[in-house]
Amino acid sequence: MRGRYKGRREDGRLLTGAGRYTADWDLPGQLYGAFLRSDRAHAEIVRLNVAPARAAAGIVAVLTGADTARAGYKSPPPLVKYPGRGGATIKVPQRDLLARDRVRFVGQEIALVVATSALAAHDAAELIEIEYRDLPAVADARDALVPGAPLLYDDVPGNLCFEFEYGDTAKTAAAFAAAAHVTRLTLDCQRMSGNPMEPKACLAAYDPASGVYDVYASSQGMSMMVAGLAGVTGIAADKIRAHALDVGGGFGIRSQAYSEYCVLMLAARTVGRPVKWVGSRSETFVSDHHGRAATIAGELALDRDGNFLGIRFEWTCNMGAYLSQAGPLINTMTPSQHPVNIYRIPAAYGLHRLTLTNTTPTTAYRGAARPNVVYIVERLVDEAARELGVDRIALRRRNLIPKEAFPYQTPTAQYDSGDPPGLLAEMLDNAEWASFEARRAEARQRGRLRGIGCAAFVEPAGAGGAPKEEVAIKFGASGEATLYVLAGPSGQGHETVFPEIVGDLLGVDPERITLRAGDPDGPALVGEGTIGSRSMMAHGGALAVAAREVIRKGADLAARALEAAAADIEFRAGRYHVKGTDLSTGIAELAEKFASAGEHPLDSRGEIPLPRAFPSGAHAAEVEVDPETGAIEVLRYVAVDDCGRVINHVLLDGQLQGGIAQGLGQVLGEHLRYDPASAQLLTGTFMDYYMPRADAIADVRLYDHSVPSPGNPLGVKGAGEAGTTGAVAALANAVIDALRPLGIHHLDFPYSPDRVWRAIREASGAATSGFR
pLDDT tens profile 455-469: 999 999 998 888 999
Residue 1: per-residue pLDDT: 54
Residue 609: pLDDT band with limits 50, 70, 90: very high
**Which amino acid is present at 256?**
Q
Tell me what pLDDT residue 767 has.
41
Pairing outcome for strands 584-586 and 604-608: unpaired
Coil/strand/helix, residue 63: strand
The three state secondary structure string of 476-511 is CCCCCEEEEECCCCCCCCHHHHHHHHHHHHHCCCHH
Q: Average pLDDT in the 539-567 region?
A: 96
Neighbours of 738 (CB within 10 A): 25
DSSP 536: I
Give me the mean pLDDT over the 442-465 stretch: 96
- At residue 414, what are phi and psi to the nearest 5 degrees? -115, 120
Instruction: Give the relative orientation of helices 259-271 and 222-233 as an angle to the nearest 10 degrees.
Output: 70
Using CA atoms, how far apart are residues 574 and 548, in angstroms rounded to an integer? 11
Is the pLDDT confidence value at 602 over 60?
A: yes
Q: What is the pLDDT of residues 646-703, one digit of tens each?
A: 999 999 999 999 999 999 999 999 999 999 999 999 999 999 999 999 888 889 999 9
β-sheet bridge partners, residue 63: 112
Q: Cα torsion for 743, 748, 751, 757, to the nearest 10°?
A: -50
Which has the closest alpha carbon to 343: 455, 462, 176? 455
Q: Which residues, at least 6 apart from 307, have a Cβ–Cβ distance to it below 8 Å? A: 398, 399
CA angle (196 as vertex; 253, 335 as ends), nearest 5 = 35
SS3 298: strand
- The pair phi, psi for residue 600, each rounded to 5°, is -75, 140
Q: Which is more confidently placed, 521 or 764?
A: 521
Number of other residues whose CB lies within 10 A of the CB of residue 615: 30
Share of the chain above pLDDT 90, in %: 94
Contact 601, 553 (CB under 8 A): yes
- Prediction pTM value: 0.96
Lowest mean pLDDT among 101-110, 588-597, 725-734: 588-597
- pLDDT tens-digit profile of 754-765? 999 999 999 987
Residue from 213, 189, 44 nearest 131 by CA: 44
pLDDT one-digit tens code per residue, 37-48: 999 999 999 999
Q: What is the separation of C-alpha 478 from the centre of its chain, rounded to a whole number of angstroms?
A: 39
State pLDDT tens for residues 89-137.
Answer: 999 999 999 999 999 999 999 999 999 999 999 999 999 999 999 999 9
Cα–Cα–Cα angle for 293, 219, 355, rounded to 5 degrees? 25
**Sign of dihedral through CA atoms 106, 109, 110, 114?**
positive
User: What is the three-class DSSP state of 246?
Assistant: coil
Say how far apart CA 115 and CA 33 lie, in whole Å: 6
CB-side exposure of 13: number of CA atoms within 13 Å?
13
Tell me how crowded residue 443 is: count the other CB atoms within 10 A of its CB.
20
E strand spans, 178-229: 181-193, 201-207, 212-217
Mean pLDDT of the chain: 95
Q: What is the rounded distance in angstroms from the CA atom of residue 690 to the CA atom of residue 172?
A: 40
- Determine the 3-state secondary structure of 377 from DSSP: helix
pLDDT, average across residues 388-417: 98
Smallest CA-to-CA distance from 680 within 159, 285, 209 is with 285
| Residue 202: CA count within 13 A, CB half-sphere | 28
CB atoms within 10 A of CB 282: 14
Can you tell me the mean pLDDT for 546-567?
96
Instruction: Compute the distance between CA of residue 360 and CA of residue 286 in angstroms, rounded to an integer.
Output: 7
**Contact 217/224 with Cβ under 8 angstroms?**
no
Q: How many CB atoms lie within 10 A of CB 388?
A: 16
Read off the pLDDT of residues 313-325 as tens digits, 9 standing for 90 and up: 999 999 999 999 9
**Position 503, amino acid:** G
Q: What pLDDT is recorded for position 770?
A: 43
DSSP 401: P
Query: For 176-196, what is the mean pLDDT?
Result: 97
B/e letters for 538-566, b = 16+ CB within 10 Å, e = fewer, are bbbbbbbbbbbbbbebbeebbbebbebee
Contact between 326 and 90 (Cβ < 8 Å): no
Point out which residues pair with 186 in neighbouring strands.
297
Banded model confidence at residue 772, pLDDT cuts 50, 70, 90 = very low
Q: Is 596 exposed, middle or buried (0-12, 13-18, 19+ CB in 10 A)?
A: exposed
Q: With beta carbons less than 8 A apart as the criterion, state whether 484 and 523 touch.
A: yes
Q: Is 413 a residue whose pLDDT tops 60?
A: yes
Residue 601 CB: number of other CB atoms within 10 A? 16
pLDDT band at 4 (very low <50, low <70, confident <90, very high): low
Please name which of 539, 579, 540, 531 lies closest in space to residue 559, comparing C-alpha atoms: 579
Q: What are residue 185's DSSP bridge partners? A: 298
Q: Are 534 and 464 in contact (CB under 8 A)?
A: yes
Adjacency order of strands within the sheet including 275-278:
59-64, 109-115, 31-37, 275-278, 201-207, 212-217, 240-243
Q: Is 445 exposed, middle or buried (0-12, 13-18, 19+ CB in 10 A)?
A: exposed
Mean of the pLDDT values across residues 590-601? 90
Model confidence pLDDT, tens digit, residues 49-89: 999 999 999 999 999 999 999 999 999 988 999 999 999 99
